[in-house]
């Protein structure tokens, strides 16, 4: 699996990236509405799922227009651009690069001409069988004929474009464009059953919006109703911002078709639900609903469970804002320890093109978070965060709190230890870099400088979601992958690292071993 090779600096320290979000997709069919602006606001609500690039494709029934660029949604679009995108159907995308470089060529939606017209497509997730699909594409291209002309003659830059644009989305659109005698719907039904891994797609031709979700339903995708149309989105929060009413989730293995004839549904694969549990931990907005469960409510309940599993005598519970806040509230409620604000977050520090010097990088956490000494001085603190990846951030945070006068720092994490990489749309650190691999909880605690450290159990997290454990993808925590991992990544599941004492450690997992051979 190719790793991103053109990242922006994340949270001022590229050496301590946390779990990076999947992409966000949005689409709507709404005659009489300003679809470009509605899509803009929908993408704004999904900005947390991808901050590297953003794009919108709009059709007036005759022509598809695409506008995309690098940067945040608010940086890519302005009033003049949005006003020029006229039509009654649109799709949009915010991107974080889990495959392919962070460059303009990989911004989405992608666009391709086909024998039946234009095709624009946006993708959230990661395919795990790209080698197989690339081979199929080569075979399809060799066989394809367009009005007696070879496809390479009609579109000579096809192979070059695919080579330069190294993401899954380009591969999907290239495959769909090879079915010359089929409509977009028919070509999609040829391609979708061959895709493996996590994918939520929104795509369109000149007259119709389509949305499809992988058979495991790993990433969320929902359907909403406007007074004069329909909306599909990665999260319900984006429905709220455009005034749409939530109807239902797009089912795993389902494709929906929206046009002047209304809404239709086609099943392209049997459902085998395995929704990503990390959406509840970190990825989704707290005001989103997944599987009829409020994400905020789940996080609060996880905090309560964390307090039951890892109680401690303390004076104050504080969150690492913003993702640690709901669980910190739950911890305080269950433990009866007062909740307080001990850290102030600068909301405007996120991704930046400016690479900090080493000196600035060492001080970087002060630009993101700053303590309130008058609140925490002399206090025994419970500090609640969502996850630990490498541990560098928590190490700096504990040191900062002690310097501000904290008497004790008890770290509580509202997810189990992250021990395995994700191949389905989240970009964690590599397995060798994950601090929970090869180290005990006590060793991690010493590494980050805490007085105590407690993670919520996997069973406790699952219970908080109220979803059956067998219907959740838990691979980043237990190494049991619901879809076979990519061939190129298999060696990464059997790595060697150096533990806290400098001793070489190697490991494997029954779940990961099963993933290597699972058909």
Cβ-Cβ contacts under 8 Å for 41 (sequence gap 6 or more) = 241, 242
- As a whole number of angstroms, the distance between CA 30 and CA 28 comes to 6
Q: CA separation (Å) from 149 to 143, 144, 145, 156, 213?
A: 11, 9, 6, 12, 34
Q: What local confidence, expressed as pLDDT, does residue 511 receive?
A: 41
Confidence at residue 5, expressed as pLDDT on a 0 to 100 scale:
29
Predicted confidence at residue 420, as pLDDT, reads 92
Looking at the DSSP bridge assignments, the partners of residue 145 are 150
Q: Percent of the chain at pLDDT above 70?
A: 79
pLDDT at 438: 84
Q: What is residue 449's three-state secondary structure? A: coil
Nearest to 466 by CA among 315, 302, 341, 318: 302
Q: For the residues 44-53, what does the mean pLDDT come to?
A: 90
**Interval 264-305: pLDDT, tens:** 999 999 999 999 999 999 999 999 999 999 999 999 999 999
**Secondary structure element (H or E) that encloses residue 59, with its range:** strand 53-59
Write out the two tokens for 290: 């997944």
Question: Which whole number is the average pLDDT over 343-363?
Answer: 61
pLDDT of residue 347: 72
Instruction: Pick the most confident of 310-319, 345-354, 360-369.
Output: 310-319
Catalytic-labelled residue, pool 23, 200, 276, 473: 23
Q: Who contacts 250 (Cβ-Cβ below 8 Å, separation ≥6)?
A: 200, 211, 212, 213, 221, 222, 223, 232, 256
How high is the pLDDT of residue 425? 85
What is the rounded distance in angstroms from the CA atom of residue 117 to the CA atom of residue 109? 16
Q: Residue 19: what pLDDT?
A: 55
Q: What is the pLDDT of residues 402-444, one digit of tens each?
A: 999 999 999 999 999 999 988 898 876 678 888 998 899 999 9
**Segment 14-40 mean pLDDT:** 81
pLDDT tens per residue across span 101-151: 444 567 889 999 999 899 999 999 999 999 999 999 999 887 764 433 344
Mean pLDDT of the 443-458 span: 97
Least confident piece of the model among 259-268, 381-390, 508-517: 508-517
> DSSP per residue over 97-155, as a string?
-SSS-SSGGG-SSEEEEETTEEEEEEEEEEES-HHHHHHHHHHHHHH-EETTEEHHHHS
Q: Which residue has the tokens 């991103």?
A: 4
| pLDDT score at 257 | 98
**Higher pLDDT, residue 93 or 157:** 93
On the CB side of 313, how many CA atoms lie within 13 Å of its CA? 1
What's the pLDDT at 367? 72
Give φ, ψ of 330 to 5 degrees.
Answer: -65, -40
Residue 429 or 397, more confident: 397
Domains of the chain: 22-273 (3.60.20.10), 297-480 (3.40.50.2020)
Highest-confidence segment of 83-97, 150-164, 368-382? 368-382
Q: Output the pLDDT for position 392.
A: 86
Please indicate whether residue 23 is annotated as part of the active site: yes
What average pLDDT does the segment 320-336 reach? 96
In this predicted structure, the answer to whether residue 54 has a pLDDT above a threshold of 50 is yes
Question: Is 90 exceeded by the pLDDT of residue 353?
Answer: no
Give Rg (Cα) of the chain.
23
- Considering 105-114, 151-160, 304-313, 363-372, the range whose residues carry the highest mean pLDDT is 304-313
What is the DSSP-derived secondary structure letter of residue 505? Answer: E
SS3 per residue for 249-273 = ECCCCEEEEEECCEEEEEECCCCCC
Q: What is the pLDDT of residue 393?
A: 86
* Percentage above 90 pLDDT, the chain: 69
How much is the pTM? 0.86
Output the pLDDT for position 161. 38
Q: What's the maximum distance between 2 C-alpha atoms anywhere in the chain?
A: 81
Candidates 146, 120, 154, 103; CA nearest to 27 is 120
Mean pLDDT taken over the chain: 84
- What does the pLDDT look like over 475-507, one tens digit per residue? 999 999 999 887 766 666 665 443 433 333 333
Q: What is the pLDDT of residue 153?
A: 40
Confidence category of residue 390, pLDDT binned at 50, 70, 90: confident
Work out the angle at residue 49's Cα, subtended by the Cα atoms of residues 48 and 55, and round it to the nearest 5 degrees: 100
SS3 label, residue 491? helix
Find out whether 65 and 117 touch, Cβ atoms under 8 Å: no
Hey, how many other C-beta atoms are within 10 angstroms of the C-beta on 84?
11
C-alpha 157/C-alpha 324 separation (Å) is 47
Contacts of 242 (CB under 8 A, 6+ apart): 28, 38, 41, 42, 226, 231
Compute CA 155 distance to the chain's CA centroid, rounded to the nearest angstrom: 33
User: Which pLDDT score, from 0 to 100, does residue 365 have?
Assistant: 65
Q: Which residue in 182, 109, 118 sits closest to 144, CA to CA?
A: 182
Instruction: Provide mean pLDDT across the span 378-386.
Output: 98
DSSP state of 171: H
2 falls in which pLDDT band (50, 70, 90)?
very low
Of the candidates 314, 367, 310, the residue with the CA atom closest to the CA atom of residue 344? 367
Peptide bond into 482 cis (omega under 30): no
Instruction: For residues 488 and 510, give the distance between their C-alpha atoms in angstroms, rounded to a whole number.
Output: 19
Q: What is the pLDDT of residue 372?
A: 96
* Ranges assigned E (strand) in 175-315: 197-204, 209-213, 222-226, 229-233, 245-249, 254-259, 262-267, 275-276, 289-290, 293-294
Among 101-105, 121-125, 347-351, 386-390, the least confident range: 101-105
């Amino acid at each position: 699996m190719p790793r991103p090779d053109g990242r922006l600096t994340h949270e001022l320290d590229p050496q301590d990236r946390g779990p990076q979000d999947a992409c966000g997709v949005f689409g709507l069919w709404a005659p009489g509405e300003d679809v470009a602006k509605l899509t803009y606001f929908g993408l704004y609500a999904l900005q947390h799922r991808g901050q590297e690039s953003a794009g919108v494709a709009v059709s007036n029934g005759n022509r598809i227009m695409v506008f995309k660029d690098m940067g945040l949604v608010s940086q890519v679009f302005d009033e003049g651009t949005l006003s020029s995108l006229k039509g009654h159907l649109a799709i949009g995308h915010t991107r974080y690069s889990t495959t392919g470089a962070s460059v303009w060529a990989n911004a989405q939606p992608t666009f391709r001409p086909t024998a039946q017209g234009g095709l624009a497509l946006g993708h959230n997730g990661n395919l795990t069988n790209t080698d197989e699909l690339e081979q199929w594409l080569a075979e399809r291209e060799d066989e394809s004929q367009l009005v007696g002309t070879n496809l390479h003659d009609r579109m000579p830059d096809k192979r070059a474009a695919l080579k330069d644009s190294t993401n899954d989305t380009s591969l999907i659109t290239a495959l769909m464009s090879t079915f010359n005698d089929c409509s977009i719907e028919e070509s999609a039904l040829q391609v979708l059953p061959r895709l493996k891994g996590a994918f939520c797609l929104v795509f369109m031709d000149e007259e119709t919006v389509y949305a499809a979700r992988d058979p495991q339903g790993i990433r969320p995708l929902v359907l909403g109703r406007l007074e004069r149309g329909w909306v599909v989105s990665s999260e319900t929060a984006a429905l709220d911002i455009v005034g749409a009413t939530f109807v239902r989730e797009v089912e795993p293995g389902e494709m929906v078709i929206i046009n002047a004839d209304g809404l239709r549904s086609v099943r392209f694969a049997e459902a085998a639900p395995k929704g990503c549990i990390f959406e509840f931990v970190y990825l989704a907005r707290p005001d989103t609903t997944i599987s009829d469960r409020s994400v905020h409510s789940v996080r609060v309940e996880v905090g309560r469970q964390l307090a039951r599993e890892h109680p401690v005598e303390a004076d104050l519970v504080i969150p690492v804002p913003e993702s640690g806040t709901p669980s910190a509230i739950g911890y305080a409620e269950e433990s009866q320890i007062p909740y307080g604000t001990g850290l102030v977050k600068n909301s405007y520090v996120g991704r930046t093109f400016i690479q900090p010097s080493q000196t600035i990088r060492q001080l970087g956490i002060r630009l993101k978070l700053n303590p309130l000494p008058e609140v925490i001085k002399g206090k025994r603190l419970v500090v609640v965060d969502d996850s630990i990846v490498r541990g560098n951030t928590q190490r700096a945070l504990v040191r900062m709190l002690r310097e501000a006068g904290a008497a004790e720092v008890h770290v509580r994490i509202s997810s189990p230890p992250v021990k395995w990489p994700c191949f389905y749309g989240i970009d964690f650190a590599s397995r060798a870099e994950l601090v929970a691999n090869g180290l005990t909880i006590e060793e991690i605690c010493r590494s980050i400088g805490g007085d105590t450290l407690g993670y919520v159990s996997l069973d406790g997290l699952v219970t908080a979601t109220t979803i059956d454990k067998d219907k959740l993808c838990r691979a980043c925590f237990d190494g049991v992958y619901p879809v076979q991992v990519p061939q190129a990544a298999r060696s990464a599941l059997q790595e060697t690292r150096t533990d806290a004492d400098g001793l070489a450690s190697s490991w494997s997992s029954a779940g990961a071993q099963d993933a290597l051979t699972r058909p």
